[in-house]
């Protein structure tokens, strides 16, 4: 364990995830990259351990959270191609929504209350004004944006029901 604690980073072998792991390490945390390596790269994990796993595998999520006792999760794991989401919406709802629900349930089961969620401007749909203010009405126009908005709603509901703390960033 590092001096500031452990942080699980889903999608930690991807571009943004690996840079987040580096920043967490530099800030004194031990980042645990949790990734199925479907689009991430093992060579990108250099600032903490790599735990191979998929967010659709709740047993594996539980094993990793139980082993590391993280103080928080940073959640990047998602399918993220708008065009593909229109052609294969089930793939996006299954991975992004069901996988995130698995993650939240595993966090609850292991006493992890804090999550940073990587959302997207696609939750806003066609903007009425640019720059888009966070208060802008969210009306996604594709399954990718809709899946991310559903996760934002789950985070709100888990906060109200279970006291979980979340922040969503674009």
Residues in the chain: 170
- Expressed in percent and rounded to 5, the helix, strand and coil fractions of the chain are 45, 15, 40
Q: Which tokens go with 126?
A: 């066609």
Which residue in the list 34, 93, 124, 144 is annotated as catalytic? 144
Report yes or no: 89 and 143 within 8 Å, Cβ to Cβ. yes
Report yes or no: 35 and 41 within 8 Å, Cβ to Cβ. no
Q: Is 124 among the catalytic positions?
A: no
Q: Which tokens go with 91?
A: 């793939």
- Positions annotated as catalytic residues are 144
């Amino acid at each position: 364990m590092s001096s500031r604690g452990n942080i699980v980073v889903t999608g930690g072998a991807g571009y943004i995830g690996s840079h987040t792991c580096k920043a967490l390490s530099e800030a004194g945390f031990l980042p645990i990259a949790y990734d199925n390596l479907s689009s991430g790269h093992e060579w990108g994990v250099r600032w903490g351990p790599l735990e191979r796993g998929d967010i659709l595998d709740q047993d594996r999520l539980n094993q990793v959270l139980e082993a590391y006792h993280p103080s928080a999760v940073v959640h990047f794991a998602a399918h993220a191609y708008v065009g593909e989401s229109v052609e294969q919406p089930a793939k996006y709802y299954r991975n992004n929504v069901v996988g995130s629900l698995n993650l939240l349930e595993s966090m609850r089961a292991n006493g992890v209350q804090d999550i940073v969620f990587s959302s997207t401007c696609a939750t806003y749909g066609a903007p009425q004004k640019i720059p888009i203010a966070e208060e802008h009405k969210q009306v996604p126009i594709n399954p990718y944006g809709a899946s991310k908005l559903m996760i934002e709603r789950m985070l709100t509901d888990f906060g109200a029901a279970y006291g979980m703390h979340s922040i969503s960033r674009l």
